[in-house]
Structure 1
Amino acid sequence: MARKTYSEEFRRDAVELYRSTPGATVVGIAGDLGIMDSTLSAWLRTAGVQLHSRPGGRSGAPPDGEGPEQEVARLRARVSELEADARKLNSERDILRAAAKYFAGETRW
């Protein structure tokens, strides 16, 4: 397989895309751009970009300076956020079901 060369502008744009996308992963951005994740990782290291921690990642250690009380508060806030998302998704699903029933009744096959 031939080694591909990428323009400096493409490299800068790829690094900037990673920087500006919250929650982005190297694998996801690389896949979107059609490049190897190791290539993007090397460009990020060269640019001095801090890699995002994976959402839900299990590093085993709490964020810097976080005590047990702060961890509990952070986790409770996250649970509340996830419960709100679940409520929203459930209501959207119910709306789509009702719309599907309505439109199914409207068709005359």
Structure 2
Amino acid sequence: MPKPYPREFRDDVVNVARGREPGQSLKQIAADFGIAESCLRNWLRDADVEDGVKPGTTAAENVELREARRRIRLLEQENEVLRRAAAYLSQANLPGK
């Protein structure tokens, strides 16, 4: 996988693309910066989501969701351990054992 472009570079390219003159295509801007047109379109889409122009999850929300899912998975594992321990202990306390 290629190394990602620095954040500052992406922000500069997005700003140039947003402020382009009429008649200047995204393809030309992408070529001027040495990136693919699809890459520029993705950066523009992501910037619109981050700015609240388009619906979607921001980078901060994605980080928060990832952490929440990790925490949920851990809590589910802990809950399963406790459930098994409770079942084991309740079997140990049955009469006749």
Q: TM-score range by the shorter chain?
A: 0.3 to 0.5
* TM-score computed with the length of structure 2 as normaliser: 0.45
Which of the two has higher C-alpha Rg? 2
